Each structure stands twice: as C-alpha cells, then as structure tokens.
Amino acid sequence: MTDLPNTPRLTPTRYRELASHDREKFQRTLASHVVAHVGFVRDGEPMVLPTGYGFDDDYLYIHGSTGSAFYRDMGDGRPLCISITSLDGFVYARSTYDSAVQYRSIVIFGAAEKLEGDDKVRAFDIMAEHLMPGRVAEVRPSTPKELAATMALRVSLAEASLKILDGGVEETPDDGEDHSVWAGTLPLRLIAGNPDTALLTPPWTLLPDSVRLQQQRFSNR
Ligand SMILES: Cc1cc2nc3c(=O)[nH]c(=O)nc-3n(C[C@H](O)[C@H](O)[C@H](O)COP(=O)(O)OP(=O)(O)OC[C@H]3O[C@@H](n4cnc5c(N)ncnc54)[C@H](O)[C@@H]3O)c2cc1C
C-alpha cells in the first residue's frame, strides 16, 4: 500500500506531527465510520452536506436521489472537499487551554464522477456492505426503478490527508498546577443499542446475521 501523499495542500500548518501518511491507518479510519461531510460551492455559497459512504482502495463512494439538486451539483465534476471525523475521546488537562479532544480525521480533495451501469451497481454494493455489512444478501435486489432514482458518485482517494490526536494529558510534575484537580482522558465509543423490530415482522422472525454483525461492530469490546 502506498503512503498518503505529502503535498503542501495536505500538510497542516500547526501540529504537523499529528499528520499521518499511513495508508493502512487511513483505511482503518474509513472502515470505522460511516458518515462523511461533503463541502462544495453552490451558486457562490459554501455548502456542506453529511452523507453515508462506502470505499475501496482507490475511491470513496456516495449516493443520493437523482431528484436532489444538491447531489446533482455535487456530482457535476466541481471541486469537492470531504471530511470524515472520528471523535475518540476527551482529554481533561488541568486547564481548559491544555484540554483537547482525541480524534482521527480525514480530509479528501477531489471531484465526483457519476457512475453508470455495472460500476453503479458495484458502487451500491460497496456502500451497502460498508453501511450494513451482510444485508445485501438478506433482502431483495434493488429494482430498476430504484436504481434509476439513485445516483452513485465516486471520488478518488488520491489526494487525502489523515490527522490523529490520540495522546493523553501532557504535563510536567513541577509546572505549578494543582494536581489534586483530576486530569485524564475519557474515551468515547459509538455503541449500538437494542434492535427495535418493525411492526409487520412476524413474531417468530430471528434477528438476522447482518444486525448481529452490526452490533458487534458497534460494541464496547
Ligand atoms: C473533532 C475535532 C475537533 C477539533 N477541534 C479543534 C479546535 O477546537 N481548534 C483547532 O484549532 N483545531 C481543532 N481541530 C483540528 C482542526 O481540524 C485543524 O487540524 C487545525 O485547526 C489545524 O489546522 P491547520 O491550520 O494546521 O491546517 P491547515 O494548514 O489549514 O490545513 C492544511 C491541510 O492539512 C490537512 N489537515 C488539516 N487539519 C486536518 C484534520 N483535522 N484532518 C485531516 N487533515 C487535516 C488538510 O489536508 C488541509 O488542507 C479539531 C479536529 C477535530 C477532528
């Protein structure tokens, strides 16, 4: 796997040591989250839309209704800047100035390509597999009408940066701070709740593997 590129546009001005070029960590961050924020300029105004995504080694995939003017604009080849954030914890220092959040965050620069035919179907499968692993095999295939009503876009992952803040409280023993004020870190996790069964489901219906898998994915372990 090639490292993430190291260009001026992708290099943070501050805390450069938090920038990571490790493609594997980048892919793991993409794998552990499902929401991207897509920013672009629309009619001269900045616009940021949250959306679910899927990904492979080379592309991020997003989808939206063909009836959505926002998605149509997003998909017309204009420059996009996409951000994905994992909020991993709070760092409680003995001053608010030194306090921080732990995170892994990604910024991607690129433009969307609209996908058609087999590429479009593959993109939907990639997105579904990322958002709800195993679900495609359990439900009926999408109808031609549903496929026609949905747009699939892909954005290259070639120009992307990753920044990771995973350290704890930084302090020295003799800096004059009151050490009886608690300091430390509070980790955060996105955890699945209990499944809530839909009304028309017959009572004998078992919870499918895909939901169990999702529970494991978003569990406290
Ligand atoms: C949950 C969260 C909370 C944050 N809170 C604050 C805060 O309160 N105050 C604050 O100053 N900063 C905060 N940051 C960090 C913020 O995102 C920027 O990294 C930071 O402001 C430094 O910007 P810069 O001027 O060095 O980057 P710039 O020089 O403006 O960025 C240059 C390039 O570096 C890369 N880059 C910069 N930041 C990131 C990033 N976070 N992730 C991936 N690539 C990046 C991009 O490719 C960008 O084009 C937070 C980040 C996260 C994820």
CATH code, 78 = 2.30.110.10
C-beta pairs of 71-78 under 8 Å, 24+ apart in sequence? 71/151, 71/153, 72/151, 73/40, 73/42, 74/38, 74/40, 74/49, 74/112, 74/153, 75/112, 75/113, 75/114, 75/151, 75/153, 76/112, 77/111, 77/112, 77/113, 78/40, 78/41, 78/111
pLDDT over 70 (residue 150): yes
Say what the pLDDT of residue 113 is: 96
Mean pLDDT of 125-139: 96
- Residue 62 exposure: Cα atoms within 13 Å on the Cβ side: 25
Q: Strand 59-65 to strand 160-165: parallel, antiparallel, or no bridges (unpaired)?
A: unpaired
Question: Scanning the structure block, which residue is given the tokens 């220092």?
Answer: 93
Give, in order, the Cα–Cα distances in Å from 16 to each of 25, 126, 202.
Answer: 17, 33, 55
SS3 category, 83: strand
Asked whether residue 215 is domain-assigned, the answer is no
Asked whether residue 84 is domain-assigned, the answer is yes
Mean pLDDT of 28-33: 94
Instruction: Determine which residue's CA is closest to atom 18 belonging to ligand 1.
Output: 12
Ligand 1 centroid to residue 162 C-alpha, Å:
10
**Mean of all residue pLDDT scores within the chain:** 94
Stated length of the chain: 221
Flag the least confident range among 60-69, 94-103, 104-113, 171-180. Answer: 171-180
**Hey, what amino acid is at 48?**
V
Asked whether residue 104 is domain-assigned, the answer is yes
Ligand 1 centroid to residue 178 C-alpha, Å:
30
Q: Which residues line ligand 1 (CB under 6 A)?
A: 9-14, 85, 87, 101, 103, 105-107, 161-163
Number of domains in the chain: 1
Asked whether residue 197 is domain-assigned, the answer is no
Ligand 1 centroid to residue 49 C-alpha, Å:
19
Percent of the chain with pLDDT over 90: 86
Asked whether residue 133 is domain-assigned, the answer is yes
Ligand 1 centroid to residue 92 C-alpha, Å:
20
pTM score, two decimals? 0.94
Atom of ligand 1 nearest to the CA of 11: 34
As beta bridge partners, residue 82 has 38, 108
Domain range for residue 164?
A: 8-171+182-190
> If you ran DSSP here, which 8-state letter would residue 15 be given?
-
Asked whether residue 68 is domain-assigned, the answer is yes
**Hey, what amino acid is at 221?**
R
Give, for ligand 1, the residue of 105, 109, 166 to mutate: max count of ligand atoms closer than 8 Å to Cβ.
105
Structure token pair of residue 127: 């997105």
Mean pLDDT of 11-23: 91
Asked whether residue 205 is domain-assigned, the answer is no
pLDDT over 80 (residue 1): no
Ligand 1 centroid to residue 20 C-alpha, Å:
13
Give the residue from 88, 108, 94 showing the smallest Cα distance to 165. Answer: 88
C-beta pairs of 134-142 under 8 Å, 24+ apart in sequence? 134/208, 134/209, 134/210, 134/213, 135/208, 135/210, 137/210, 138/208, 138/209, 138/210
Asked whether residue 206 is domain-assigned, the answer is no
Say what the pLDDT of residue 196 is: 97
pLDDT over 90 (residue 209): yes
